[in-house]
Amino acid sequence: MAFRRTPSFASDRESHRDLQRMLVVGLGNPGKKYERTRHNVGQEAIDILASRHNASLKAGRDRALVAECRVHDVPVVLAVPTTYMNDSGEAVGPLARRYKVSDPSRIIVLHDELDLEPGVVKIKVGGGLAGHNGLRSISQHLKTDDYIRVRIGVGKPRSKEQGADHVLAKVSASDRQVLVEAIETAVSAVELILSIGVDEAMQRIHSQQKQ
Structural domains in the chain? Answer: 20-208 (3.40.50.1470)
Catalytic residue among 16, 39, 53, 206: 39
Q: Are 186 and 153 in contact (CB under 8 A)?
A: no
User: Quick one: how many helices (H) and strands (E) in the chain?
Assistant: 7, 7
pLDDT, residue 97, reads 97
Q: Is the pLDDT of residue 82 over 50?
A: yes
State mean pLDDT over 77-89: 97
Backbone angles phi, psi at 154, to 5 degrees: -125, 0
Cβ of 201: how many Cβ atoms within 10 Å?
A: 21
CA distance 144 to 156: 27
Nearest to 106 by CA among 185, 172, 24, 49: 24
DSSP per residue, 43-101: HHHHHHHHHHTT---EE-SSSEEEEEEEETTEEEEEEEESS-GGGTHHHHHHHHHHTT-
Cβ of 76: how many Cβ atoms within 10 Å?
A: 25
- Using one digit for the tens of pLDDT, what is the confidence trace for 57-72? 999 889 999 999 999 9
Cβ of 204: how many Cβ atoms within 10 Å?
A: 14
SS3 110: strand
The strand pair at 74-81 and 22-26 is best described as parallel
- Using one digit for the tens of pLDDT, what is the confidence trace for 3-54? 455 555 454 555 556 678 999 999 999 999 999 999 999 999 999 999 999 9
Backbone angles phi, psi at 6, to 5 degrees: -85, 130
39 in catalytic set: yes
pLDDT, residue 211, reads 47
pTM of the model: 0.89
Question: Is pLDDT larger for residue 169 or for residue 86?
Answer: 86
Cβ of 86: how many Cβ atoms within 10 Å?
A: 13
CA distance 112 to 121: 10
Question: Is pLDDT larger for residue 162 or for residue 88?
Answer: 88
pLDDT, residue 178, reads 95
Q: Is the pLDDT of residue 2 over 90?
A: no
pLDDT, residue 182, reads 97
SS3 15: helix
State mean pLDDT over 104-129: 95
Q: Is the pLDDT of residue 136 over 70?
A: yes
State mean pLDDT over 123-132: 91
